[in-house]
Amino acid sequence: MPSNGTSGQVGPKQSKKPHRVFRQESAQEPPSERLHQGADSSGYQARMESNTSALHTKKAGAVNRKAGTKNRPPKRAGLAKSTAAMAGARVKSMLHSRIGEAERENVGVEAAHRTGIAGERAANETSRLLKNRLRSHSSRSARIQGKSDTAQPGGNAAQGKRFLQKQRQKRRVQKKARQAAQAARTAQKTAVTTEKTANFVVRHPILTLILALLLLIAGLLLSGMGGAATLGSSLSGAAVASSYLATDAEIDRAELAYTEWETDLQLTLQNMENAYPGYDEYRYDVDDIGHNPYELMAFLTAVYGDFTYAEVENALRSIFEEQYTLTTNETVETRTETRTVQAGELIGQVRTTAYCNCAVCNGKWAGGPTASGAMPTAGHTIAVDAKNPIVPMGTHVIINGTRYTVEDTGNLNANNSDIDIYFNTHAQALAWGRQSHAMYLSEGNSNTLTITETREYRILEVTLTARSFTGGIYFRMDEEQRGRYNVLMATKGSRQYLHSPFGEKNWLPYVTAYYGCRVMDGAKDYHKGIDISMPQGTDILAGQDGTVTFAGETPGYGLAVVIEDGSLTSKYAGCSHLFVGEGQEVKTGDQVARTGPSLHLEILKDGQYLNPLFFAVTNDYGTGPAYGDPGTAMGDGSYAALIAEGEKHLGKPYVFGASGPNSFDCSGFVCYVLNHSGVKSMGRTNAQGLYNMCTPVPPSEAKPGDLIFFTGTYSTPNPVTHVAFYVGGDTMLHAGKPVQYSSFRTPYWQKHFYSFGRLN
């Protein structure tokens, strides 16, 4: 290991020159261009024609049964099958017991077992789907047989016999034609399935072993239906059933489309005040924007199989429109406000008109005194509305550099005026007309003036309702599709080209920025990778075999490593230390660097950027918080400063993605308060990022000033989706709708509770 404190680079050094490996233009089109390209639908049409042909040419053996046969209920499992089932359960129990013993001795076996559990769930689901298919086929055969039983022959026996002979001959010819076509289709499908199965076995050897064992047990149960001859095809089917079937490019286009629509929606929200100008106030009631990419891809695969983006675009649009509803509503409120003005301070902008003592201006009061009893004087006397005066009688004010005294009243509001200025002649009054001026409080009054104003406020209410993404797709699937969906959620698609850059550690909860379109500096940005905020100094391991083609500083990303091997490229940026040099050969699992504040990970296959969530091993098994030593609770001084800062923002609106000070989302509020209270200096992160900075605390040990975390409040791959300050008892301070104190003992928050945490 090198001793210098810079990059820590070893191996041959290259000439120093600017390297823009993370800024270079890719042959891959920008997201919007790729999303709007037409897709070749010929393959889809061929599959549809093939499926239609198969539907119209299926035959049920039950049709040719004797007319006397009756529909029978399914037979109950015999002694052999029952014994096999018991043996299978016993074998599986012993297997898990033995593996559990080995786990205590070997961490590698433990990791393999965890992977196997996911595979076992997938195999159980596959077995269930197979049984459902068998039951469905039996019922259909019985229905066909029932129709055959009730059919009545017509015509004489000789004509009927000749007719049946012709029909049998016609069916034999049709059958041979179908067999020839089916043979061609089967050969093509077998080649594709074999390739996918081989790739699955190479990438998931342990999972394949577990699947093989469970399918062997299933084979015992189904021994009367083909025995060992069925087992190979079952293993192949299980591998395919647990994998994404679409091409990498189509998977990428579908996910990019959804992230782009969500980004456009967020930009629309951020630009509401420009799109709807002129309102006195804007009120936002905005739900979180986001979805779980794994749910999206599992749904598309379960329902559409080997889909193309062109085939699923309309369905995705429909799901998006069901998930999000954006509405605006204009309201008008009349408010009476009281404020105190000091001498020399601005009272406000006023609308002025003019009058004189003539009959046109004063009517029957022409030539008489003012409402105060004094005679009006030009350059001195002004009038206010009799019912709703902007300032009291006798107030001294300055308008347009002239000091006036309120001595008169009139029906000014009916004339859309706040102040009526007295002039000596009607011509002078007409010349003044209508003018708007700033009015200040003059000296000569008491030290302060209390002003009560009543006015109308135009308010635009902006509401974004985000419904559950999971619920939206659930009702679009039938029972069989939901089964495949659950398998795919367990395996995460089995399309991982890259091994985990952090060994056996689960890094999914540490993702703070996702692949795809996002809002950056007020504009749409294409994020070509993901950001993983593992603890600084964590070892980064090579996710693939290959050659280091770059190791050094790159603009905007700091220290970076690029590994290439044929068509696969992985990039690791934002490192604090490098352990490899350009030209060096590395193997999967070799240490190549250490993390800085955040690792930026990118994957390219055949020059195309791919989503690391789909194409890299995450080691995520859905585990909950692991409690450790949380350290000392927050002191009284820090807690008081925290609450004082937080309470400054009570009532401010919730806006997804907002960081203050005028509006917040949940993590934006917590980060802002921690920074501005002086309790902790930190950057902006999301709820999961805040959780990663904490040590989980059991509820019995939570103290005021700790953070409280919730899960599943909206669709995202991260376990943690909402964060608040714990203030003791059953109460939290958080950016709800709006910033407020709330009880977390309600059914909603208890349902979504995840953990308490103490900042490290």
- Judge whether residue 558 has pLDDT over 80: yes
222 and 126 within one domain = yes
Q: How far is CA 533 from CA 116, 259, 295, in A?
A: 28, 21, 23
Indicate the pLDDT class of residue 522, thresholds 50, 70 and 90.
confident
* More reliable by pLDDT, 4 or 512: 512
pLDDT for 585: 97
700 and 751 within one domain = yes
644 found inside a domain: yes
Contact call for residues 351 and 419 (beta carbons, < 8 A):
yes
Quote the CA–CA distance of 477 and 627 in Å, as a whole number: 38
Quote the CA–CA distance of 591 and 671 in Å, as a whole number: 33
119 and 230 within one domain = yes
pLDDT for 179: 58
The mean pLDDT value of the chain amounts to: 77
First-to-final CA distance of the chain: 30
716 and 673 within one domain = yes
pLDDT for 80: 38
pLDDT for 166: 61
pLDDT for 141: 41
Closest CA to 618 of 494, 487, 505, 489: 505
Report, as an integer, the average pLDDT of 64-87: 41
11 forms beta bridges with: none
pLDDT for 31: 56
Task: Identify the three-state secondary structure at position 384.
Answer: strand
DSSP per-residue letters across 658-676 = -BSSS-B-HHHHHHHHHHH
| Domain finish residue from 622, 655, 678 | 622
- Judge whether residue 34 has pLDDT over 70: no
pLDDT in tens, 699-756: 888 899 999 999 988 878 788 999 999 988 888 999 988 899 888 878 789 888 999 9
Greatest Cα pair distance, the chain, in angstroms, is 130
pLDDT in tens, 100-115: 444 433 433 443 444 4
Task: Calculate the dihedral angle through the C-alpha atoms of 635, 640, 641, 642, rounding to the nearest 10 degrees.
Answer: 90
Q: Return the exposure string of 167-190: e unless at least 16 CB atoms fall within 10 Å of the residue's CB, then b.
A: eeeeeeeeeeeeeeeeeeeeeeee
CA angle 751, 753, 754 (to 5 degrees): 135
State the pTM of this model: 0.58
pLDDT for 85: 44
pLDDT in tens, 338-362: 888 888 899 999 999 999 999 999 8
120 and 216 within one domain = yes
Report, as an integer, the average pLDDT of 322-340: 91
- Judge whether residue 94 has pLDDT over 70: no
- Judge whether residue 436 has pLDDT over 70: yes
| Domain finish residue from 179, 206, 241 | 241
- Judge whether residue 458 has pLDDT over 50: yes
Quote the CA–CA distance of 192 and 305 in Å, as a whole number: 14
Q: Which domain holds residue 217?
A: 79-144+161-241
Report, as an integer, the average pLDDT of 255-264: 96
Indicate the pLDDT class of residue 56, thresholds 50, 70 and 90.
very low
263 and 229 within one domain = no
- Judge whether residue 603 has pLDDT over 90: yes
pLDDT for 213: 52
pLDDT for 120: 52
178 and 111 within one domain = yes
Contact call for residues 353 and 418 (beta carbons, < 8 A):
no
pLDDT in tens, 131-155: 444 344 444 444 434 444 434 444 4
Contact call for residues 498 and 610 (beta carbons, < 8 A):
no
What is the CATH number for 704? 3.90.1720.10
Indicate the pLDDT class of residue 336, thresholds 50, 70 and 90.
confident
87 and 210 within one domain = yes
pLDDT for 172: 63
CA angle 269, 273, 278 (to 5 degrees): 155
Hey, what are 598's tokens? 């955040």
pLDDT for 17: 42
CA angle 475, 478, 479 (to 5 degrees): 115
Report, as an integer, the average pLDDT of 226-243: 59
236 and 87 within one domain = yes
33 found inside a domain: no
Contact call for residues 570 and 531 (beta carbons, < 8 A):
no
pLDDT in tens, 622-681: 655 656 566 667 777 788 889 999 999 998 988 888 888 988 999 999 999 999 998 888
Quote the CA–CA distance of 65 and 46 in Å, as a whole number: 34
223 and 87 within one domain = yes
Hey, what are 530's tokens? 């993901």
pLDDT for 658: 87
Share of the chain above pLDDT 90, in %: 42
Chain centre distance of CA 317: 16
pLDDT for 72: 45
Quote the CA–CA distance of 293 and 515 in Å, as a whole number: 10
Report, as an integer, the average pLDDT of 548-558: 94
602 found inside a domain: yes
Indicate the pLDDT class of residue 271, thresholds 50, 70 and 90.
very high
The number of domains in the chain is 5
68 found inside a domain: no
748 and 719 within one domain = yes
What is the CATH number for 611? 2.70.70.10
Which spans in 335-385 are helix H?
Answer: 359-362
Q: Which one-letter amino acid corresponds to residue 169?
A: Q
pLDDT for 425: 95
273 and 231 within one domain = no
Indicate the pLDDT class of residue 581, thresholds 50, 70 and 90.
very high
Task: Identify the three-state secondary structure at position 577.
Answer: strand
- Judge whether residue 52 has pLDDT over 80: no
The H or E element containing residue 338 is strand 324-342
- Judge whether residue 126 has pLDDT over 70: no
Quote the CA–CA distance of 277 and 259 in Å, as a whole number: 28
- Judge whether residue 409 has pLDDT over 90: yes
Report, as an integer, the average pLDDT of 607-634: 78
66 found inside a domain: no
* More reliable by pLDDT, 200 or 397: 397
Quote the CA–CA distance of 88 and 92 in Å, as a whole number: 6
601 found inside a domain: yes
Indicate the pLDDT class of residue 74, thresholds 50, 70 and 90.
very low
Range with the largest mean pLDDT of 211-220, 550-559, 694-703: 550-559
349 found inside a domain: yes
Indicate the pLDDT class of residue 209, thresholds 50, 70 and 90.
low
Indicate the pLDDT class of residue 443, thresholds 50, 70 and 90.
confident
Hey, what are 251's tokens? 């998977």
Chain centre distance of CA 467: 12
Contact call for residues 312 and 320 (beta carbons, < 8 A):
no
pLDDT for 746: 80
Residue with tokens 């230390």: 577
Bridge-based pairing state of the strands 558-565 and 568-578: antiparallel
Contact call for residues 602 and 562 (beta carbons, < 8 A):
no
Indicate the pLDDT class of residue 236, thresholds 50, 70 and 90.
low
- Judge whether residue 371 has pLDDT over 90: yes
| Domain finish residue from 206, 241, 276 | 241
